[in-house]
Chain A
Amino acid sequence: MENLKTLAILIPILPLVSMLLVGAIGLRILKSRSHWLVISGVGGSLVLASLILGDVLSHSARDAGAAHVTEAESAVGNAALSKSIPLYDWFVVEADPAQGARESAGWLQMTFRVDQLTCVMLMTVLTVGLMVVIYSTGYMRDHHGHAERGYERFFAFLGLFVFSMCMLVLAGNFLVLYMGWELVGLSSFLLIGHYYQKPEAAKAARKAFIVNRVGDFGFAIGIWLIYLTFGTLDYQRVFDLVAGVANFDAHSHQAFDALVHSTLGANVNPMDFKILVESRITWIALLLFCGAMGKSAQFPLHVWLPDAMEGPTPVSALIHAATMVTAGVYLVARCSVIFASSEIAMWFVATIGAATAFFAATIALTQFDMKRILAYSTLSQLGYMFLGLGVGAFDSSVFHLFTHAFFKACLFLGAGSVMHAMGGVIDIRKFSGLRRQMPVTHATFLISSLALAGFPLLSAFWSKDEIIHAAFESGFPLFGWIGLITAALTAFYTFRMVAMAFWGQERMAPGVEHAHEGGAWMNFPLIFLAVGAIGAGYFGVHMVSGGGFLGVFEPHGAFHHFLEPVIASAKGILSGHGAEHAVAHAGGHTLMYVSALIAIGGILLASYLYTKRPTIPFAIAAASGSLHRLLYNKYYVDEIYDAVFVQPLRRLGRFCFGVDRNFINAILYVLGNIPRAIGFGLRSGQQGAMQGYALGMIIGIVALIWIVLNGVG
C-alpha cells in the first residue's frame, strides 16, 4: 500500500510542478521550449499511472485468476483497494463529542482512493493528455515554427488542468473531489479564454464558468447533504452505509446495526438512520447529478460546451471532449451505489442522457462549424454515457467514456489540423476535398469518424452497442429506440462533415493557397489516437470460439471484469430492485447486426448525398423550413435562456442600479451637501485677512477675561 500511496501522490505532483515551473520561468527563460517541462511532467505521470495500473491489476488478478484464489482472498484484495489512502488531516469540521468519534475527531482528511475506476480514468486522462500536449507543441505555432503569444501560459494551464483532473479522479472523499472539480472548472475557464483578446472567447469562458456554477451549486448542496446525513465524506464509508440501507434485511440486520454503530457512534439508532437515508438518498443523487449535468454539459446545462470551442483546439480535444466533460460520468459511476439506491434518480439520469443524445445529434445535422459539430457530437455521446448509467450499465458507460476519449480527441485534433492549415477557418462550406493535400489528417480523421459512427469492429461500435443493448433491456424500450435513432443520426452527421471537408472537389479557404500537414508534432498524436480509436474497443470484448458477433466476438471482456469490483455493490442493489436491470448482457447479437447496418447505412447515405448529390440536402433543408431553422438555431435554447434568465436579471440589475443612482445617491448627495452648505455659510468669514482673524481672537480674549472675572452665570 505504501508503494501505491507514493505513486498516487506523485501523479498529480508532477504536472503541478511542471506547471509551477513553467509559470515561474516560462516567460523569461523557457519561452518556446516550455512544452518540454509539461510533456515530461504528464509523461512521467503516465508512467506512474501505468505502475499503479500494474499494481491494481495484481490485486484484481486474484479475482480474475479464479480457481486457485479463494473468494476471501479476492475480497481482501478489493477491500484494500477500496480503502482511502489518507495523506494528511486537512481541517476540522466540527469537534462535537456528542456526535461520537468520526474521522478522527472532526478532521476532514485529504485522502486518495486508487481502485480500478481510478486507474481507467487516470490512464485515459494521461494518455490523451500527453497526446494533446505533444500536439499543442506543433499547433500553438505559426507556419514558420514560431511560438504564438501566450505559448508558455498555455502550457502552464495545460499542466494545471492535468493536475486538477488527476486530483479529481484520485480523490478519496467528496471534498477532495469537489476541489478537483472546481480546479478543472477553473482551468477550463482559463483555457477557453486563452485568446482573451477575442471578445467571443472571453464571453465563452465566462459562460462556461457561470453555467458550471449553476451545476456546482447543486453539487455543493449535495455534498453538504451527504455530510449531514452520513457524518462523513469518505467514499467508502458513505457507500457502505448506503449499500447497507439498500440491502436492509428486516430479519437479520445485526450486520447493518454494527456498521452504523461503528461508523456513526453507538448512540445512533440504526432504524432512524435507515429512514433518514431513505428519505434523502434521492435528493442526494439528484443534487450530485446536478453537478454532473453542469460539468458534462447535459441538457439543459449544455449551452456552454459549443461556445467553449472558442478556445484553442487542443483544449477542446482534451478538456471539452475527452476528459473534463466526462467527469460527470465518472462521478455517477463512482457514486453508482447512491444512484442505484434511488429509482427516480436512475430514471432521471437515463432520461436526461437519452434526451441530450438525441437532441444534440439533431443539432449537429445542420451545423457548419467543424468544431461545433464535434461539440454537439460530444454532447450526444455524453448523453449515451448517461443513458447507460441510468439503465444500470455502469461498466459499459465507463467503457464508452474510455473509447470515446480516443476517437473524439483524434477528431478534434484532426479538426485542429484542418483549421491550422486553413488559416483559422473551420466552416466546412468554405473548403472541401482536402484529402489529397492532408493525407495523414484525412486518414486519421476518417478512422475516428468511422469509430464515432459506430462502424463495426471499431471501438465505439462495441461500447455504444452495449449501452443501447442495456437500454433495450431496461424495461423501458423507448430508451433503446432513441439510442438506435441517434446512432443513425451520428453516422449521418459525421460523414456529412467528412464528405464536405475532405471529399469532393478540391477547394481552399479564402486566402489559403496550399494546405499542408502540421508536421511530426501534430501527426504523431493523430496516428496514435487513431490506433487507439481502432483498438481501444478490444479491451472490452473477448474472443469466443463460436456464437458471438461475426462468430468470434463477445461483448463484456476484460475491461468489464476489471471494473467489476467497483460497481458490484450497485449491481447488487439494482438486482434487488428488479432482475432485468442487472443480468449480464450476454446475447443481443441481433442488435449488433442491426446497429452495424444502421451505421453503415447512415455513412453511405451521407457520403452519397454530400459528394454525389450535394443539392439534395439543400433542397431538404429548404423544404423542411421551420424545422431546419429550429435545428440550425439549436432549438433556440440560448435565446430562451436569454429571455427567461438573462434579460430579467439584467432588468433587475438595471432596477437596482436605478435605485442606487436615484435613491441611495440622492441620500448621499444630501448628506454630502450638509457640510457644503455649512461651509458656504462660514466661507464669507474666511478671506485670508489676518486682521480679521486677529479681531476674532481679541473678541474671544475679551469674552474669556469677562468670564474669568465675572463668572459665567
Chain B
Amino acid sequence: MNLATPQALMLVGALIFGLGVIGFLARRNMIVMFLSTEIMFQGVLVNLVGMGLLHGNLQGQAMGLFVLVIAAVEAGLGLAIVVMMYRRRGTLDAESWRTMRG
C-alpha cells in the first residue's frame, strides 16, 4: 500500500493552520473565529499524523486523538462563552468587547 509522504502531510497541515490563523485574526464574528481555531486544530492534527508517519509509529496518531479531545473541549467551552457574551451584548461582534479607550 502506498502512503502519502510525511512532508506532503506537513505542508498541507501548515497551510491549513495558516488559514486558520488568518480567519481567527480577520473575522469579527466570534463563531467564525472559533471555527477558525478548529481549522487550526485540523492543521496540527494533520501535522501530527505526518510526524508519526515519518517515524513509523503510532504515537502521532495517538496524540492526534488527544488533539481531538482538546478541540472538542474547546468547542464546548468556547461556544458556551460565546452564548454568554451574545446574551450580554446582543451581538456576536468581537469588536463590541473592545471597551478600552486606547
Give the interface of A toward B (CB within 8 A).
683-691, 694-695, 698
Contacts and interface: CB of A to CB of B under 8 A. Distances in A.
A689 to B, nearest CB: 4
Contacts of A684: 102
A683 B102 contact: yes
B94 A690 contact: yes
Nearest to B102: A687
B25 A686 contact: no
Q: Please list the 5 inter-chain residue pairs (A to B) with the smallest Cβ-Cβ separation, ordered nearest first.
A: A688-B100, A687-B102, A689-B98, A688-B98, A695-B25
B102 A694 contact: no
Interface of B: 21, 24-26, 28, 33, 94-95, 97-102
A694 B40 CA distance: 14
A691 B94 contact: yes
Contacts of B28: 691
B95 A689 contact: yes
A691 B100 contact: no
A691 B25 contact: yes
A689 B25 CA distance: 11
Contact of B24 (A683, A686, A691): A691
A498 to B, nearest CB: 81
Contacts of B94: 689-691
Contacts of A687: 98, 100-102
Contacts of B26: 691
Contacts of A698: 21, 25
A683 B95 CA distance: 17
B49 to A, nearest CB: 21
Contact of A686 (B33, B97, B102): B102
A688 B97 contact: yes
A688 B102 CA distance: 8
A694 B24 contact: yes
Contacts of B100: 686-688
A138 to B, nearest CB: 71
A631 to B, nearest CB: 73
22 contacts: A683-B102, A684-B102, A685-B102, A686-B102, A687-B98, A687-B102, A688-B97, A688-B98, A688-B100, A688-B102, A689-B94, A689-B95, A690-B94, A691-B24, A691-B26, A691-B28, A691-B94, A694-B24, A694-B25, A695-B25, A698-B21, A698-B25
A690 to B, nearest CB: 7
A115 to B, nearest CB: 82
A705 to B, nearest CB: 11
A690 B25 contact: no
B13 to A, nearest CB: 15
A694 B34 CA distance: 13
Contacts of B25: 691, 694-695, 698
